[in-house]
Structure 1
Amino acid sequence: MKRNSFIEGAMITTIGIVICKIIGLIYVIPFYGIIGSQGGALYGYAYSIYAIFLNLSSSGIPVAISRVVSEYNTLKYYYTKERTYKIGTYIIMGLGLTFFILLMLFAKPIASSILGDLQGGNTIEGVSFVIRIISTTLLIVPLLSVTKGYLQGHKIMAPSSISNILEQVVRVSIIVGGSFIALKVFNSSLEEAVGIAVFGATIGALVAFLYLFYKIQKNKDKLNKDEPMTRSEVQITTKDIIKKIIFYALPFVVIDLAQSAFYMVDTFTVVNTMVKLGFGNIAETTIGTITTWASKLNMIVISISTGIIISLIPNIASSYVKKDMTDVSKKINQALQILLFAILPMTIGLHFLATPTWVLFYSYDIVSISIFKIFIFQALSFSIYMLLIDIFQTMNDTKIALGTLFGSFFGKLLLNIPMMHLCKLIGIDVYYGPSMTTLLVHMVAIIFLFYKLKTKYKINYQEMRYNALKTILCVLIMVIVLKILNIFLTIDAPTRIEAFIKVGIYSFVGALVYITVAYSSRLIHHIFGENIVKMVISKIPFVKKKIKLD
């Protein structure tokens, strides 16, 4: 194991995230074919509940451990650093065990709250069964998270990224292999197959933890694990360490809980409301699409934005610490421009290719495809929304960050059901309601955050506005070309092979047109800078040779 610089760490982390998201996306093709829409809804119920309880048991603590370990390591308080890891482990294991017991005890009432009066499809017993199975993950994942935080506190990033990939590979293997064997070989029930699939998260986390435990034991000397207590460390009590962990963890706990609660609103309101409005026959297809299948496709966009955020936010932080607000403004503008440049064409492209993309990964389903055409825009709004939230957090403005998150949650909670009623009233399909609510709430929050950045921190958006308009123009030209292509090569794709070919052709043409127009208009130069553009071009032999000849 070796320590990584910030740039190395950011690259390793980003690559790890992208690989995990790709694995997490690819497996849904066979998994959907095995368990279908009803199984997908059941899987989504379990993971939605698990996500909020996982946040309750571990959110913020790994980040806090990373900060405290880094702090004590810098001071050469190696003994106290190890005490911090042990104390963090005890805290997080206690919380994990507590919430595991709560989920085991209250799985049935939770399942009843989710399904309401739904007739047919999944049952309360089936939902409570998979919730109890996935609750076992709470005994392992928090421990895994705090161990990652411990290593990251030493600025050692590679093992954590490798463990993420290892965890994902094991989990996906069990999800696909386990559910297939259960249904196709042993003719088990759908509930049992999904139960095996969600148990994959527990096994994956256990394998990843054992890998990290092995790496730590193998590198004890490098980590200074067995150093004696120094005189300066004698005065640091367990109470002091716990206080420090709580102080660092609390803001992240609240933010993660607010995010999870926001998306839990759909889980607890969509099925009940659709049943009452007379759409019980498509209620589970709708919630399965929102919580599981469409979310997987949105990860294509969000994983890239996550990598951008990880790379750029620390740079904003360093400028803010120096009180160089001119540079802060420049970097915020650059972050927003890069984000928009990368994800706007992807979002519009996936919206345009919604039908063949859905057929490629799942199968043709008009309800799911219709939802996805709107749902994909949540990837765009969420990416901008979270970048702005992270900017405020970076500048230690937790009040605005938390206020916006809680305001968004209450907005979603108050408007989700009325929006579905409104859709029925004005003749719009009810299943659009949840996505429309999310987009509306995100839009209001984004406008508010932009306003606060301008008024409180004097951020100037002139450059961003100019390049945003050019980005939109480039995307518009891309769409026009794709529309023309659609005249000669229809976008409809009844089979997976045909969908694969058409998604490939349209993606290639769209990307080529977008990049060509962006380069010709010098949009790329304005956003990334001349040096970056020249460096990238120098890596492409054909382009480099052509430019020299010209």
Structure 2
Amino acid sequence: MSKETISDNKLKQPLEEMSSKDKMINGSAWMTGGSILSRLLGALYIIPWMAWMGNQSIAESANALYTIGYTPYALFLNIATAGVPSAIAKQVSYYNSLNEYEISRNIYKKGLQIMAVTGIVSALIMYVAAPFIAASSPNVSVDNATQVIRSLSWALLIIPCMSVTRGYIQGHHIMKYSAISQFIEQLARVIFMLAAVYLIRQVWNGSVVNAVAASTFAAVIGAVFSIGYLFYIIWRKKPELDERAAQSLNKITISTNEIFKSIIRTAIPFIIIGSGITLFQMIDQFTFQQIMTQVSNLSPKQIVNHYGVASGNVNKLIMIVISFGGSMAITAVPLISELIAKNDLKKIAHQISDSLQLFSFIMLPASIGMMIVAEPLYTVFYGQSDLGTTALQVASFMSLFLGLFVLMGSTMQAANQTRSALWALVIGLVVKLATQYPMLAWAGTNGMFISNIFGFGVTVLLMLWKMYKVTRFDMGLILRRVLLMLILTLAMAIVTFAVKELLYLMMDSENSRTSALLVMAISAGSGGIVYMYGSLKTRLADRLLGARVTGLRTKLHIK
């Protein structure tokens, strides 16, 4: 059995035979699959959810109220989890690579204790601070916003322990169970949410705020099901984990206090950088209403609805593609941490190069493709909206920078370049603050996305430059391959746009969800085929995904 991973009988080959690149592809595939399915559920539920809430105006107000609760919750969630699971995954992978499995187990046990405490503290703070957060957010009723925010605080009691368990499993390079738990969490959440809204609004004719509060409380239900599954996996793998612990070299001795300090020291930077996107969103939440009141002619209710469309609806959709960057980051952290333990700088450079190329290979066509099909995509989920379409187009381009930030932020921390990563984030936040007012004044609601592009753009450039100076990864190779990806993406974009416009000429109505679904599926599918063919024809896919692609090309008769 592998010394570096928990064995899985369903795997066709022992993981110790897999290269770092194979582990990255395999792990990213699992995490991306789980994440995308979860994000799709998180976006699809909105269709019946808004329909059951009431008419279009009521549904939009309910959605804005929901978003107001979730943005601060995301920040408190990052605080409560203290950078877990990535911090725990980094520690576990590091000591596993040194054959010190008993220390890894102790880190997990102590991590559970820390997470239980931070969860309770964060839940209390969020509950108490809810009125202040509500008063500082775009809303019509402070009391309603307070109720929604408080309903989410209960989830903070469970999710931290769930996160540390995920991190422990990820530290053994087994991403499957973490991905499955993520999907279970989202599925249970959506089922409870839809059932609650249907009963409250359609059966009992209850208030909108109670329906929204029940929807946000669904996070608790999802967490319960997810942590139950993870504990079951730990119980099922206990014999293997016990065997690993018995094989520990025990050459390193770490006291309980040292373990606590190690977890906290590793976790604090992860929490700050992991909260990067949320911090940018909090700037929007606390400044959007005030700035738009000064620079626009929108009414208070229109401002709230605009915020709900941009920060709620659009963000749900772009997070589907951003999740790929997060999945790669989750996979990369234990891999790079393992290489750091072995002091293998050359392989670290190769790992970073592989990560950036794989990221670009997926994210470039995904983000540009979403930008082109923004109109039918938004219509399918939320109904036809010029505001929503334009916002999604700008946000789709922004998703490239957000995804790269997630990947590079975790990569730098795994490579022990935390201070530089923190400074890059701080500078990006300053740029965001400096450009927020002028961009909102110039571009209206879309200005919040444009200021994000400036802020995250500066941050990722600083991160890339720092990692290049440290590892000297092959920048020339990356640029050449990214250029080829851009050419293939351009070809894909032209085909996707042409097919979309042709289909709209043939359709009776652009406002129909059914028509929009057909347009989106056919045009995106056509563009996807072009990109896939181009990547196979140029052998780009072979270089990035390995020998498994060769068989696919042979079956498709592509020489």
TM range (shorter): 0.7 to 0.9
* Correspondence 1:32-43 to 2 at 5 A: 32-35=50-53, 36-43=59-66
Q: Distance in 1 between matches of 2:105 and 2:348?
A: 36
Q: Distance in 2 between matches of 1:162 and 1:188?
A: 34
Q: CA deviation at 1:488?
A: 3.3
Q: CA deviation at 1:207?
A: 2.0
* Pairs aligned (count): 530
AA of the residue aligned to 2:420: I
**Residue 376 in 1 paired to residue 396 in 2?**
yes
Could you tell me which of 87, 99, 102 is aligned with 2:125? 102
* Correspondence 1:82-481 to 2 at 5 A: 84-115=107-138, 122-153=140-171, 157-217=175-235, 220-224=238-242, 237-277=255-295, 278-279=297-298, 280-311=300-331, 328-421=348-441, 423=442, 428=443, 430-481=444-495
Q: Distance in 2 between matches of 1:313 and 1:234?
A: 22
Q: CA deviation at 1:126?
A: 0.6
Q: Which residue of structure 1 aligns with residue 530 of structure 2?
A: 513
Q: CA deviation at 1:377?
A: 1.1
1:488-514 deviation line (CA, Å, top 9, x unaligned): 322762111111111111112212223
Q: CA deviation at 1:516?
A: 3.1
Contact 2:324 2:403 in 1 (8 A): no
Contact 1:408 1:442 in 2 (8 A): yes
Q: 1:452 to 1:89 in 2, by over 3 A?
A: closer
Secondary structure of 1:490's partner?
A: helix
Contact 1:80 1:233 in 2 (8 A): no
Q: 1:77 to 1:181 in 2, by over 3 A?
A: same
Could you tell me which of 3, 7, 13 is aligned with 1:3? 7
- What TM-score do the two structures reach when normalised by structure 1? 0.85
Q: Which residue of structure 2 aligns with residue 536 of structure 1?
A: 552
Contact 2:86 2:167 in 1 (8 A): yes
Contact 2:31 2:179 in 1 (8 A): yes
Q: CA deviation at 1:302?
A: 1.6
Secondary structure of 1:489's partner?
A: helix
Q: CA deviation at 1:436?
A: 0.8
1:162-197 deviation line (CA, Å, top 9, x unaligned): 322221111010122211221111111111001111
Q: Which residue of structure 1 aligns with residue 540 of structure 2?
A: 524
Q: Distance in 2 between matches of 1:347 and 1:293?
A: 16
Of residues 501-510 and 192-201 in structure 1, the stretch that sits farther from structure 2 once superposed is 501-510
Contact 2:84 2:164 in 1 (8 A): yes
Could you tell me which of 64, 75, 83 is aligned with 1:52? 75
- What TM-score do the two structures reach when normalised by structure 2? 0.84
Q: Which residue of structure 1 aligns with residue 510 of structure 2?
A: 493
Q: CA deviation at 1:321?
A: 6.4
Q: 1:338 to 1:297 in 2, by over 3 A?
A: same
1:423-478 deviation line (CA, Å, top 9, x unaligned): 1xxxx4x1121011001122223333343344454344223323323322223233
Of residues 484-493 and 396-405 in structure 1, the stretch that sits farther from structure 2 once superposed is 484-493
Of residues 242-251 and 165-174 in structure 1, the stretch that sits farther from structure 2 once superposed is 242-251
Q: Which residue of structure 2 aligns with residue 20 of structure 1?
A: 38
Contact 2:196 2:214 in 1 (8 A): yes
Q: Distance in 1 between matches of 2:179 and 2:481?
A: 34
Q: Kindly name which structure, 1 or 2, has the bigger radius of gyration based on alpha carbons.
A: 1
Q: CA deviation at 1:218?
A: 5.2
AA of the residue aligned to 1:435: F
- Among all aligned residue pairs of Structure 1 and Structure 2, give the percentage whose two residues are the same amino acid: 28
AA of the residue aligned to 1:261: L
Q: Distance in 2 between matches of 1:487 and 1:65?
A: 49
Q: Distance in 2 between matches of 1:218 and 1:332?
A: 34
Secondary structure of 1:114's partner?
A: coil
Q: Give the RMSD, CA atoms, in angstroms.
A: 3.4
Q: Distance in 2 between matches of 1:68 and 1:451?
A: 26
Q: Distance in 1 between matches of 2:427 and 2:51?
A: 39
Of residues 2-11 and 434-443 in structure 1, the stretch that sits farther from structure 2 once superposed is 2-11
1:264-302 deviation line (CA, Å, top 9, x unaligned): 111111122222333234312222123221112112322
Contact 1:271 1:283 in 2 (8 A): yes
Q: 1:150 to 1:304 in 2, by over 3 A?
A: closer
AA of the residue aligned to 2:316: K
Q: Distance in 1 between matches of 2:345 and 2:472?
A: 8
1:49-73 deviation line (CA, Å, top 9, x unaligned): 1111111111224444445556777
AA of the residue aligned to 2:7: R
Q: Which residue of structure 2 aligns with residue 503 of structure 1?
A: 520
Q: Distance in 2 between matches of 1:499 and 1:402?
A: 42
Secondary structure of 2:137's partner?
A: helix
Q: CA deviation at 1:47?
A: 0.8
Q: Distance in 1 between matches of 2:146 and 2:333?
A: 40
Q: CA deviation at 1:314?
A: 5.8
Q: Distance in 2 between matches of 1:377 and 1:65?
A: 32
Contact 1:34 1:180 in 2 (8 A): yes
Contact 1:3 1:155 in 2 (8 A): no
Q: Distance in 2 between matches of 1:496 and 1:97?
A: 44
Q: Distance in 2 between matches of 1:315 and 1:473?
A: 31
Q: CA deviation at 1:161?
A: 3.1
Q: CA deviation at 1:43?
A: 0.9
Q: Which residue of structure 1 aligns with residue 56 of structure 2?
A: none
Contact 1:37 1:284 in 2 (8 A): no
Of residues 271-280 and 214-223 in structure 1, the stretch that sits farther from structure 2 once superposed is 214-223
* Correspondence 1:73-84 to 2 at 5 A: 84=107
AA of the residue aligned to 1:110: I
1:198-222 deviation line (CA, Å, top 9, x unaligned): 1110011112223333444455444
Of residues 468-477 and 481-490 in structure 1, the stretch that sits farther from structure 2 once superposed is 481-490
Q: 1:388 to 1:104 in 2, by over 3 A?
A: closer
Q: Distance in 1 between matches of 2:71 and 2:43?
A: 17
Q: Distance in 2 between matches of 1:457 and 1:299?
A: 30
Contact 1:471 1:523 in 2 (8 A): no
Q: CA deviation at 1:318?
A: 6.1
Q: Distance in 1 between matches of 2:93 and 2:541?
A: 38
Q: CA deviation at 1:357?
A: 0.7
1:111-167 deviation line (CA, Å, top 9, x unaligned): 00113xx6xxx3111100001111111111112222333444555554433322221
Q: Distance in 2 between matches of 1:328 and 1:39?
A: 47
